[in-house]
Amino acid sequence: MLEIKGVNSFYGKAHVLNDLSFGVERGQVVALLGRNGAGKTTTMKSVMQLVVPQTGSVTYQDQTITRLQPHKVAKMGIGYVPEERRIFTDLTVVENLEVGRQPAREGTVTWNEDMLFDMFPNLAERRSNRGKELSGGEQQMLTIARTLMGNPSLILLDEPSEGIAPVIVEEMARVILKLKDEGLTVLLSEQNLHFAQAVADHVVIIESGTAKYQGTMSELQANPDIRDTYLSV
| Spatial distance between the Cα atoms of 140 and 210, rounded to a whole number of angstroms | 28
Percentages of the chain per state (helix, strand, coil), in multiples of 5: 35, 25, 35
The residues near 114 (Cβ < 8 Å, ≥ 6 apart) are: none
pLDDT value of residue 71: 94
Supply the angle between the helices 166-181 and 136-148 in degrees, to the nearest 10.
Answer: 10
Instruction: Check if CATH label 3.50.50.60 holds for domain 2-230.
Output: no
The residues near 125 (Cβ < 8 Å, ≥ 6 apart) are: none
Side chain identity at residue 182, one-letter code:
E
Side chain identity at residue 118, one-letter code:
D
| Spatial distance between the Cα atoms of 198 and 176, rounded to a whole number of angstroms | 10
The residues near 232 (Cβ < 8 Å, ≥ 6 apart) are: none
Q: Do 158 and 85 meet the contact criterion of CB atoms below 8 Å apart?
A: no
Residue 165: other Cβ atoms inside 10 A: 11
| Spatial distance between the Cα atoms of 177 and 78, rounded to a whole number of angstroms | 18
171 vs 107, 176, 198, CA distance in Å?
Answer: 27, 9, 11
pLDDT value of residue 164: 81
pLDDT digits (tens, 9 = 90+) for 171-228: 899 999 999 999 999 999 998 899 999 999 999 999 999 999 999 999 999 999 998 8
Q: What residues of the chain score a pLDDT lower than 70? A: 233
CA trace torsion 146, 96, 158, 46 (10° rounding) = 90
pLDDT value of residue 233: 61
